[in-house]
Structure 1
Amino acid sequence: MRYEKQIVRGEMIDEVAKSGSGSADAPACRACHDRNGGLIIGTPGNPIDTGPVVIPSPGGGGPTNPFPPDNPTIPIPGVIIIPNNPPGNDPCSKIKGQKGTAAYNQKINDLKGKTGEKKETGYSQKANGEFTYHSKASTNEGSNSLSLPDATVYKDVSGYMHTHVDNTIEINDNGDEVTRTGIKMFSPADVDYFMDMLANAQAAGRPLNDVYAVMVSTNSIYQIRFTGTAGQVKTFTDDQMKTFSDPYIKQMENSKNLASDFLKFLKDNMRIEGVNLYRMQQMGKTTEIKLGPDGKTKESDCP
């Protein structure tokens, strides 16, 4: 292709024959090009053959134009910046992919129909995509906890989804009616298991952005995904986990914004960074919820 500009004594001027394509040996090009791909510069009475002209990539490594312009218009190759989560690997895309599969939707539908039971139920998913149903849960006056595969043994579990059941009225030992209420948000134990799955994925060299956890209640579905760095993956001891229970209940049981208070608890109490929360409509939009530097949550709908 012929150039729209040529360099003459360090200045860019419009070329006479600037349209079309063909060999530099064509009659219209011979006024400016020699037979070796160079440029003829100077004046008609004093032509100067520059030889082949090569525009080097940034950083050098090749010959340069002998008369570089002060303000070149020849484009310089750009710098490609690869994001932490390339398109298709970001949490919104991962969740969109989940919601587009029959297996995932069947599990969500099943759990939505079990939020009225007295005990939690759920599914775990292995890295190979295989789901396993779980219904063994412990319940007492202060907790309701589903038993998931031991993360120290079953290290190929990459995701799980479970219910937080509706409030129930029960009769205590004194014969009085007592309302058992549950917090319709991930608990510290839920997050602990999520972090264990991340640690296992990291040790096995599996993508951290494939790890997920889902909480299903009658009125909401939430998912957590990891958006941090490998250095932000952390796990907890049993003694550490015991210290989170009371502060969590105190912060969450009277919360007016469960999503915000949950993310603040992760940051301030569990010292966890790089975990985002997603509010999901089963057949509609997904909303990403982040905690900003100012301590306020910022919401944005996934594409």
Structure 2
Amino acid sequence: MQNQVNAARVDILILGAGWTSTFLIPLCVERQVSYTATSRPSHPKPDTVPFEFDEHDAHPDQGQFAVLPGAKTVLVTFPINAPGASARLVRLYKETHPNAEPHFMQLGSSGIWDVRLPLSLRPSARWNRKAGWLDRHSPYSETNTRAAAEAELLALSPETPTTVLNLSGLFGGPRAVKHVVGRVAPTKEALKSSGSLHMIHGIDVARAILAVHDNFRLATGQRWMLTNTRVYDWWDLAATWGTDAENKRGPQARWVRELMREEGVRALPRTPEQIGRALDSRDFWDTFELEPVIAQLD
């Protein structure tokens, strides 16, 4: 089933046709799930509806909501941080689509579980080596504005079915972990402080979104942690892919060997107890009876 740009009703409305949609849309087509995607008017994309949500505008024009199709699931791919904005988006969509009975799914970040850890592949952060194992029920940062906005969305359940998927680092397509080793570990000292890494491929993100869409009753009111169920070690990755600015093998492998001797590490990868935060995302995969299909980083 193809994209229905001008449809009155679709299965999934994708608010924000970004990186995730490059995996989600082909899967929707394959599974005959009807969809409409939006893009910002300032950066329009083919076969999308113009839409831009200003989270700081308390009285937005309802017109851009009214032109959107009714949907069983409204997927919000962009971050929301402003207090009240999540509830406002839901209210405006429901007011302009009184017969749609929509479910709302927000994509978030696993970075909310430790403010001292980097979001996705951001370099230069010091790793918290005492974090240990965390799962979706673990306390998250109370000062994280994105997490607060997600909690606001979840509070609308069960009257309005809502859920949040907090994603770990994203890879696939042009996003390759090996290309950022030089940024994450430009020096031996930076490499020394680099611990765990959690990732999920765009294909598995798309599969997870459709699994929730098909079984939203299992997700209503819930916040989920999403990884590919692996804990990667930056030392192991740096030793494998160490590069310099000219995309040639750099000094990282030598630094790893030296650090292993200095820190008493006998083999790679290091254990979760040695590298800090370890995320346990089994709840999601068990609940929806799926397994992530891509574990090998590139």
TM-score normalized with structure 2 length: 0.21
Q: Per chain length, whose mean CA-contact separation is higher, i.e. which structure has more relative contact order (CA < 8 Å, sep 6+)?
A: 2
Larger proportion of helix: 2
Structure with the largest fraction of strand: 1
Kindly name which structure, 1 or 2, has the bigger radius of gyration based on alpha carbons.
1
- Could you state the TM-score of these two structures normalised by the residue count of structure 1? 0.21
